[in-house]
Amino acid sequence: MKPITEYTDYRKVIQDFFDEKKRTSAFTWRDFAKSAGFSSAVFLKYVCEAKKNLSHRGAISVASAMGLTGFDATYFYSMVAYGTAKTDEDKKKIFEEMRAMAKERKVRILGANEFDYYKSWKNSVIRELAPAMPGAKPSEMAKACKPLISTDDVIEALAFLQKLGLLEKDYDNVYHQTNKAIALGVSDAVPLAARSLQRQMGSFALDAISLPLSERDMSGITMGITRKGYDKIVAALDKFRHQIAAIVAEDGDTEQVYRLNLQFFPLTAKVRGGN
């Protein structure tokens, strides 16, 4: 198995443990369930398939069956709590606790950098803004942001973006993007931070309604559709995002940093059956 801190989904830990045991022995789900004290032979299989959840007591039993002790066991308990948390706020709190535990052991949680990048709108804005203001001081970049942020916020973002390898600074103290577009690693924590970013950007969109039409474009369609229509629209939006990304990649120097939100969501419950 991989080191425990390379996981954020406890189900994958259980599945990887089972697969590894299966490769080297006649280990079965029944054997696994029995060693963990569960009466159902397929309970842990259902847990891995997200059909069942582990309780804290169950987490203790499974950790013991997998031979996890000390830090590894405690980290596993936190993963179970993270996976069963009901709200994003609870998830963020538990994830930060997991990071603190890992930091004490001087190990890095896989996906932690991605989590930090997405959890604040300032990182993506500074990544675009800094190269567009060659030679500018952090205080000048801060004043260019909407809404305004502090000089310390800019300094922190610049340091983080350089650490992550998304910005680099040359001998003239001018910042450059290492790549025009980015694709950060996949982690179970990334969607959590991305939802936080989307909420922040959504609130900015409300404020932007007051801008003159020459500086913003907003429109929307309220529609009644089937699931088949929904799937087609999602595919069209995905194609559109790629088209926008291609335009940005081919564009010249940055004059201003913009945000494009694509929001497509239900306004009613499902009122008719269908596929």
Q: Give strand pairing partners of 177.
A: 167
Strand (E) positions, the chain?
A: 167-169, 175-177
Task: Tell me the percentage of the chain whose pLDDT exceeds 70.
Answer: 93
pLDDT tens column, 75-91 = 999 999 998 988 888 88
**What pTM does this model have?**
0.59
**Which of 61, 57, 85, 62 has its CA nearest to residue 13?**
62
Structural fold of domain 4-109: 434 Repressor (Amino-terminal Domain) (1.10.260)
- Report domain extents, the chain: 4-109, 121-250
Q: What is the mean pLDDT of the chain?
A: 87
pLDDT band at 140 (very low <50, low <70, confident <90, very high): very high
Distance CA(90)–CA(93), nearest Å, equals 5
Helical segments of the chain, H only: 10-24, 29-36, 43-48, 56-65, 70-84, 88-104, 112-118, 121-132, 138-144, 151-163, 190-208, 227-250
21-38 confidence digits (pLDDT tens): 998 889 999 999 999 999
Instruction: In whole angstroms, give the CA distance from residue 199 to residue 203.
Output: 6
Which position has the token pair 């950790």? 63
Identify the burial level of 30 via C-beta atoms within 10 angstroms of its C-beta, where 0-12 means exposed, 13-18 middle and 19 or more buried. middle
The CA R_g of the chain, rounded to the nearest whole Å, is 23
